[in-house]
Structure 1
Amino acid sequence: MTQTTAPPVIPGPRDGSAEPREPVVPVPPRLTKAVIRNFRLLRRTELSFTDGVTLCVGRNNTGKTSLAKLFEFFVARKKTALCVEDFSADCYEEFLAAHRLYAAGETEQARDTVPAVTLTLHIAYDKDCGQYGPLAPFVVDLDPDCSEVVIRFAYALGDGALKEFFGGVPVGADATDTLERLGRGIPKHFEMSVTAVDPTDEANVRPVGLADVRTLVRVDFVEAQRGLDDEGEGHAVPIGAVFEQLLTAAEKSRNTTWLEELAESIDKTLVDTSGSLDSSLQKVRERVAPTLKAFGYPGLGNQEFVTAARLDSKRLLRNFARIHYPGVAGVRFPESYNGLGTRNLVMILLRLFTCYRDHTATSPESGIHLVFLEEPEAHLHPQMQEAFIQRLTYSVSLFPRIDAQMRASMPGQAGAAEESSTAGDSGPRWNAQFVVTTHSAHVANRGHFSDIRYFRKEEDAVESGSEPGPARTVIKDLSQVTDDERFLRRYLTLTRADLYFADKAILVEGASERVFVPAAEEKLAARRLGETPQHQYVTLMEVGGAHAHRFYPLLKVLGIPALIITDLDPVDKSGPKRDKCLVSEAGRPHNPSIKAWFPETEDITVAELLQLAETDPPIAGGSMCLAYQVPEEPGGPCGRTFEDAFALANRSLFGISAGDAPAGELEERARSSVESRRSKVDFALDHVLGDHDWEVPKYIRRGLEWLMAQDGTATKADDE
């Protein structure tokens, strides 16, 4: 392994040219990717970042919070050590294997086998920037065309600690006892290290200090639990605590700002107030003194006590700053009287502004500011959720403008006023990248696919009856879903679909299926399990037969079990027009979703479709099932729509006598019996809510049985 000992010294542009060039505004560095190894569910995971807002979506317990915790551990250093539970489940066998190797005397192999938790950050920068600034300690390559630095954090077994880590653990103990003993040694013998890695040669690394990292990358967290609903007596007011942080940030600032001057003004006022308070306290002391003398005070030395009031501006804000809202007749309502949603929004904006102030006070302009924002939707109504996520990136330019305008309004800052008035949108910017974790469909559906990172927990495929393998998370970049993105985004937004957070999905043709399928699922589950379903969450989406196929690429990326229920809708192509025909007349499906399912078979016939679904419904990629009408019994009649299929599955309810009638005649009777009924929705409601019993059509029953048999956990097979 090669180690460089000093960063390259490049006095000018990387091309070495000494000719003067017109000054250009360099593009600030951006965090582009994080590679994670061995942390909880994030066994082998990569996350790409956008320049603005990266939306992390997915079901609960898929690793979204773990991502923030890892950055908190390595970059913010809010925790000094990890425990064995923080390692991925796959690592447990590696610890045991390393212990066996050490016991066998294979010390070098044992050390190489001990797992380590790592976080590797990839940062892109403008190669024509001239001055590297905080990037300099991390530039270890000599390639003039390279415009990336790589920083690797590792939590690994310390040098020379192999014997201490394994030596006290006996050989022959069971796996549980061995892991428990090794786990106790992890905080003692594991250490954190930070290295700069050559993007062109991973063997070329150089140790760097955490201080250099913090100069280049700042990480802040706006947690979901913001203390808004804690209104008990004696608790610090959240708004006041934020104002305290703002004044603390002003003290750190290297430039005189409006906030710094405001803090000085408050302190001056408090000094004057303290003087008046001192006089009042002295009068109290004089009245108390005779009582103290009765007990022998001040005693020997005759040292009298004096009183003094000391008011701290920051503590005053934390304990006494309040927000009030105007009422009627001069009555003001306290902060707690407003809804949690409004208070949450105010808190988030103030926290973000505090993060901005802290960053600009302590970091160079070329530094990266990564802000994790957890569940901003808490207590916000849907419209406010959508507005917030759409306006979040606006704060990158808004906060600096507010800062400039406030600074310009202070005495002696007239020049800044002119600057701020002409800056407009091209004024100073805040080099922030946001990572938003959310469980809100309203937030998620407002994001472009290129901004969304879908967290999916998957397990290794195992033999039936055995315990599931270790779970891990994969992060899917939805930017690869480019087909029909505009349609999908508009659909998900307009219908408030929560596809990103479901365990399973059902896509149906129309309103009648949307009404009928939940009742059918409940009936089948009760019959199969003896109770109503289900601990998993299934989302039901009405997409129409003409549009279901547009969801295929997205469903494939998400990897959740998805059932598509659609109609055959056969037509006769022999004539000049495409007339509707019965299934028995061997037409062709007039359904884009069926055609897209079988792209390799052009102009597929209904007869071929029935043959393909003779025993089981068609499955694609292990995670998608297509259910279309099939005969209730081999060689029997087949419906062309849901209503026809329901009538054929419940012939006695519709007065359809089987007898020896051919399939075509029975299909015609079924169609005639349902066409005379009311609307399709009323048709479904009449039977779902009616008192009579009914049977689920075979094609829907088979599809739902397939869906029930899926455990809702994606496997590697989904991506194959």
Structure 2
Amino acid sequence: MQLHSYRLRNFRRLKAAHIELADDISIFVGSNNSGKTSATQAIQAFVTGGRDRFSLYDFSSSCWKAFNEAESINVDDPIPDGLLPSIDLDLWFEVAVPDLYLVFPLLPSAAWEGSKVGIRVSFTARSPLNLIQNYRAAKAKGAAQAAELSPGSEYVPWPRSMTDYLQRELKNEYELRYFVLDHTQFDKNFLEIGDYVPEELRKEQGGGAILKSLIHIDNLGAQRHLADPNPEAGGRSEDLSKRLSRFYKRNLDQRQDDHAALRALFESEQALNSHLDGVFKPMLDRLSKLGYPGVNNPRLKIMSALDPAHVMSQDARVHYQIGEGEDTATLPDSYNGLGFKNLIYMVVEILDAQAKWVAMENRPPLHLIFVEEPEAHLHAQLQQVFIRNVLELLNIKDDVGSIFSSQMVITTHSPHILYERGFKPIRYFRRTKIGREQLTEVLNLSAFYQAQSDDRDFLERYLKLTHCDLFFSDAAILVEGNVERLLLPVMIRKVARPLRSACLCILEVGGAFGHRFQSLIEFLGLTTLIITDIDSVALVVPEADADIDDEEVEEFEVPADEEEDVARQVQDGGQNPASKPVESPPKRKYGKACLPNEPGAATSNQTLIKWLPGKRTIEELRNTSETDKTHELKDNTKVRVAYQTERPITWNGATENLCGRTLEEDFGLENPGWSQSVEKKPLGLIVKGEIADPSALAKGLHKRVSRKSFDKTKFALALLTEDEDAWDVPTYIREGLVWLNEEVRIELETVIPDVDPMAETGGIGEADE
């Protein structure tokens, strides 16, 4: 049996989030405050916590307005369903036919057929009518008592509003209810069809007990508070030795009735040390598979802090053994690095959780383990080793082929962990905004993996090579090459300084491959700026059957014409040419680099041709509007392209509308006098000879930059050494960054829900990792 997925409603920013889980390991990723921690805390609260685990701040912000609107309801009229918000969790289990007896109480009917069984847990009002009446009674009592006070004060007694009342009385007014879900009444997105109302489990059936009999949950939080050798470090901390000792006392054979061992303890401390070595060996062996001790790291050694008076209750101590033979030395556990202590701690916690689950009476068939931010204090390689081998910790020899199974969920901000696991286990928590409310949508990257086969392999390899942080960003910037990547931080500081406070992912993709990111960017719905070159070329028509081997000739593709697609469909036997288009293969074109103002010039840039703005000629690109350069995705997120555009260039007393073919050329045109001064020779942009007018300058820059001897990286590094106030950012990049600044600013602006003043004292459930 596996937990296939779960849906949360009205829980913090997860107002309507459906989260699918892999059958082995799922990885929750997303930018900060996207709801990853909420997704783990919610299911644990519903399954193991009970109603005391919930507070008013766990309701989505829109629910607060609904609570306050309920104040004015007429209690003499029938109370409408859903008047008071509830927090709901739908759990969907994948159950094989032989295991149906495990979920028999959750089958919607005796004739049920299928593989998915569901249960809804709802944190809902006991009685909406009684709640409203209790609130009004409390308000009237407070008003009466306040009336006895001296007049002239602005004091308003409790409860000032319904939300103020529920902050104190929620646990008395709300309860958990359980419902059986019929999978046939839900669509493919696990949303109810029509007006379906699930059947409630009767009190005597014990919905909570049923749920606990199916699933056991453990959570390894991000804050593990391991001890620091500095006593002045402060804060909560835990000695690793104490944690290992608890593991020993709870799970390992302690030989409490072994008198030979007791005698050995009194006669020789070595006997106990040998015993401890033996019982910890399986754990240490499994730890070694996750990269510890590795090369040149001290080995773990478990030793007794021998106290004959309390010999069997005395804590074991972890020491680190250095050297061999007579040169052996041991150090206390606090003298090892936080990274390895964190790794050891996680391994012990996971094994401890597994051992407790295995030892449970009436053991639930499913064990779900949440691990938050395993990368804490671990270097990149050790993060990859951990995620590569962590599933081996879940393997229990006796469970092979049985009804028992384990699933793990990891929340992370580490691109190194994503590097190791690939797309399939990723669940991307995407922040969205509807009106003034900030919400989260959870995307299953395995669906993208299955649907986008053409670009999938390229994207997965690229992200592995770059350790991409795309999944943790507020926005992305796709740049042409290394020069843009080096200079962009300075340009942002110059023209869009607020962007420095945003989490940006800058990807170097080039004009030839940028369009291959289209499917992923659109799937994620991530605000994106594409900074690329116009790459103007003069088209070359090769002779029939002649090979194009001229190094100056670029080969590129353009989509087939629409007329060719229709003709191809008819040729392939389509009866109605308009019914189902048959795409023709793309055409191959050839061109030599030229200035953008050359008549008849086209672009060889695949991003401009195949993605945005979808134009082929320089004339079309020149006349493209700002609207056509922008594509709206979902929930008002957008993608915009920025490439060189013509603007007035003044040189030697003359002014012409020009633009460069590449960043370096356009930079020279943007800063003509400054870049042509003798002092700026390291930039490599000085044009030799007389420069009569702006056109001559553009030609000279084009020839200069097009040479094989021109070092673009050297240009970027030289520019970084200059006073950044002395030069101007090229117009197309400045306009793109200003656009992105506006988009991200809107996305990041603080949203204050329309609720009563008391709500300002809390985060209204939105502040979440």
For normalisation by structure 1, the TM-score amounts to 0.76
**Partner of residue 578, structure 1:** 591
1:606 is the counterpart of 2:631: no
Q: Secondary structure at the match of 2:52?
A: coil
CA distance in 1, matches of 2:316, 2:41: 32
Number of the residue aligned with 1:23: none
Q: Verify the 8 A CA contact 1:658 1:666 in the aligned structure 2.
A: no
Distance 1:161 1:177, change over 3 A: closer
Residue correspondence of structure 1 range 375-394 to structure 2 within 5 A? 375-394=373-392
The answer on 1:509 being equivalent to 2:480 is yes
| More off after superposition, 682-691 vs 588-597 | 682-691
The code of the aligned residue for 1:636 comes to N
> How far did residue 34 of structure 1 move?
0.6
Map of 1:634-673 to 2, 5 A cutoff? 636-655=657-676, 661=693, 663=695, 665-673=696-704
Equivalent runs, 1:69-468 vs 2, <5 Å: 69-77=41-49, 80-102=52-74, 105-109=76-80, 112-127=82-97, 129=98, 132-159=100-127, 161-163=130-132, 165-170=134-139, 177-201=161-185, 202-207=197-202, 208-230=206-228, 237-245=239-247, 247-248=249-250, 250=251, 259=252, 262-265=253-256, 311=310, 313=312, 315-316=313-314, 319-327=315-323, 329-362=327-360, 367-397=365-395, 400-401=396-397, 431-461=405-435
Please tell me the root mean square deviation across aligned C-alpha atoms, in Å. 3.4
1:541–1:614 Cα change, 3 Å: closer
Deviation at 1:86, TM superposition (A): 1.2
Q: Which runs of 5 or more residues in structure 1 are unaligned?
A: 1-28, 251-258, 277-308, 405-422, 462-468, 527-531, 716-720
Q: Deviations over 1:238-275 (max 9, x none)?
A: 34334424643x5xxxxxxxx4xx23447757876999
Contact 2:529 2:642 in 1 (8 A): yes
Q: Who is 1:464 aligned against? A: none
Take 1:430 and 1:574, find their aligned partners in 2: how far apart are those partners? Answer: 67
1:471-496 C-alpha deviation (Å, 9 max, x unpaired) = 11111222233332222222222212
Residues 267 and 214 of structure 1: is their aligned pair in 2 closer, same or farther, counting only changes over 3 Å? farther
Q: Which amino acid in structure 1 is aligned with residue 535 of structure 2?
A: D
Matching residue of 2:647:
632
CA distance in 2, matches of 1:330, 1:216: 50
Q: Provide the rounded CA distance (Å) in 2 between the counterparts of 1:41 and 1:672.
A: 55
Question: Which residue of structure 1 lines up, in the alignment, with residue 730 of structure 2?
Answer: 697
Give runs of aligned pairs for residues 560-571 of structure 1, distance below 5 A.
560-571=526-537
Check conservation: 2:212, 2:364, Cα contact below 8 A.
no
Name 1:37's counterpart in structure 2: 9
Matched letter for residue 478 of structure 1: L
Alpha-carbon deviation of 1:184? Answer: 1.6
Q: Kindly state the Cα deviation for residue 48 of structure 1 after the two structures are TM-superposed.
A: 0.5
Q: Is 1:687–2:719 an aligned residue pair?
A: yes
- Cα deviation, residue 206, structure 1: 2.4
Contact 2:226/2:238, CA 8 A, preserved across alignment: no
Distance 1:149 1:675, change over 3 A: closer
Superposed displacement of residue 322, structure 1 = 2.8
Shift of the alpha carbon at 1:365?
7.2
Give the equivalent residue in structure 2 for 1:536: 502
Structure 1 contact 498–539 (Cα < 8 Å) conserved: yes
**What one-letter code is carried by the residue in structure 2 that aligns with 1:148?**
K
State whether residues 35 and 47 of structure 1, in contact with CA within 8 Å, keep that contact through their aligned partners in structure 2.
Answer: yes
Residue matched to 2:39: 67
The C-alpha deviation readout for 1:501-542, integer Å capped at 9, x for no partner, is 12222111111111222211111136xxxxx76321222221
Structure 2 counterpart SS, 1:96: helix
1:175-222 residue CA offsets vs partner (Å, 9 max, x unmatched): 964421232221221111233323235533424432221121010111
Q: How far apart, in 2, do the equivalents of 1:340 and 1:567 lie?
A: 46
Measured in 1, the distance between the counterparts of 2:4 and 2:14 equals 18
Q: Which amino acid aligns with 1:627?
A: A
Which stretch shifts more, 220-229 or 568-577?
A: 568-577
Matched letter for residue 180 of structure 1: D
Q: Secondary structure at the match of 1:575?
A: coil
The equivalent position to 2:611 in structure 1, one of 597, 600, 609, is 597
**Could you tell me which amino acid in structure 2 is paired with residue 124 of structure 1?**
E
Shift of 1:163: 4.8
For the Cα contact (< 8 Å) 1:267–1:312, is it kept in 2? no
Using CA pairs under 8 Å that are at least 6 residues apart, name the structure with larger relative contact order, 1 or 2.
2
Amino acid at match of 2:137: G
Paired amino acid for 1:322: V
Q: Confirm or deny: 8 A CA contact 1:271 1:311 kept in the other structure.
A: no
User: Using the alignment, how far apart are the partners of 2:118 and 2:616 within structure 1?
Assistant: 52
- Match for residue 414 of structure 1? none
Q: Deviations over 1:636-678 (max 9, x none)?
A: 1221111111111112234489999585x55313213445674
The CA deviation at 1:394 is: 2.6
After alignment, is 535-544 or 48-57 more displaced?
A: 535-544
Alpha-carbon shift at residue 54 of structure 1 (Å): 0.7
Show structure 2 runs of 5+ residues with no match: 144-155, 186-196, 268-307, 543-589, 650-655, 677-686, 749-769
CA offset at residue 572 of structure 1? 2.2
Displacement of 1:446 after TM fit? 2.5
SS across alignment from 1:690: coil
Q: Which residue of 1 aligns with 2:282?
A: none
Question: Identity across aligned pairs (percent)?
Answer: 29
Distance in 2 between residues matched to 1:143 and 1:428, nearest whole Å: 26
- Match of 2:176, SS state, is strand
In 2, Cα distance between the equivalents of 1:135 and 1:431? 15
Deviations 1:15-34 (A, max 9, x none): xxxxxxxxxxxxxx110111
Aligned pair in 2 of structure 1 residues 632, 481: CA closer, same or farther (>3 Å)?
farther
Match of 2:493 among 522, 546, 553: 522
TM-superposed deviation, 1:169: 4.9
SS for the counterpart of 2:657 is: coil
- Give the match's secondary structure for 2:175: strand
**TM-aligned CA deviation for residue 437 of structure 1:** 0.3
Displacement after TM superposition at 1:350 (Å): 1.3
Counterpart for residue 287 of structure 1: none
For 1:698-713, list aligned pairs within 5 A: 698-711=731-744
CA distance in 2, matches of 1:181, 1:380: 46
- 1:123 alignment partner AA: F
Does residue 423 of structure 2 align to residue 473 of structure 1?
A: no
CA distance in 2, matches of 1:620, 1:162: 44
For residues 176 and 538 of structure 1, the distance between their equivalents in structure 2, rounded to whole angstroms, comes to 43
What secondary structure sits across from 1:497 in the alignment?
A: coil
CA contact (8 A) 1:456 1:714 kept: no
The two structures have a TM-score, normalised by structure 2, of 0.71
- Aligned-residue offset at 1:158: 1.2
Q: Distance in 2 between matches of 1:161 and 1:356?
A: 44
